[in-house]
Amino acid sequence: MASDPNCIFCKIAAGAIPSRKVHEDDEILAFHDIAPWAPVHFLLIPKEHIASLANAEPRHEALLGRMMALAPKLALEQGCEPYPAGGFRVMVNTGAHGGQEVHHLHLHVMGGPRPWAKG
């Protein structure tokens, strides 16, 4: 599986940097964001190093689908209230204009009662 030795999320995926885990399976890790915008704010990453959504390839389609399908399940488990009164935000910052700071593909999942610290 592709990994980048200089990538902070690859290090988190490998357990070399600790994180507060929300979910882990063979292909996907979810962990709490270190600087949350909202009462619930976690990140979903592929364990494989994919630099951004713009770098995803056709072979990643099933993986991307699994990540999206996990988001609502984990959101509820982490305390987001049910749709439609509750719900959550999924955000995938991509590239400089998209506001991406960590260049390893990640889905932000944010929820919980407003106001939020950001967003």
Structure tokens at 87: 């719900």
- List of residues 6+ apart from 97 with CB closer than 8 A: none
Alpha-carbon span 116 to 100, nearest angstrom: 20
Query: Does the protein bind ligand 5GP through residue 78 (CB under 6 A)?
Result: no
Per annotation, catalytic residue among 41, 103, 104, 106? 106
Sheet holding 107-111, edge to edge: 21-24, 28-32, 40-46, 107-111, 88-91
Smallest gap from Cβ 60 to ligand 5GP, in A, equals 18
CB-based burial label for 81 (10 Å; 0-12, 13-18, 19+): middle
Q: Is residue 106 flagged as an active site residue?
A: yes
Residue 4 interacts with Zn ion (CB under 5 A)? Answer: yes
Among 9, 31, 42, 88, the residue binding Zn ion under the rule CB under 5 A is: 9
102 is a contact residue toward ligand 5GP (CB under 6 A): yes
Binding region for ligand 5GP (CB under 6 A) = 8, 17, 19, 31-35, 93, 99-102
Binding region for Zn ion (CB under 5 A) = 4, 7, 9-10, 49, 104
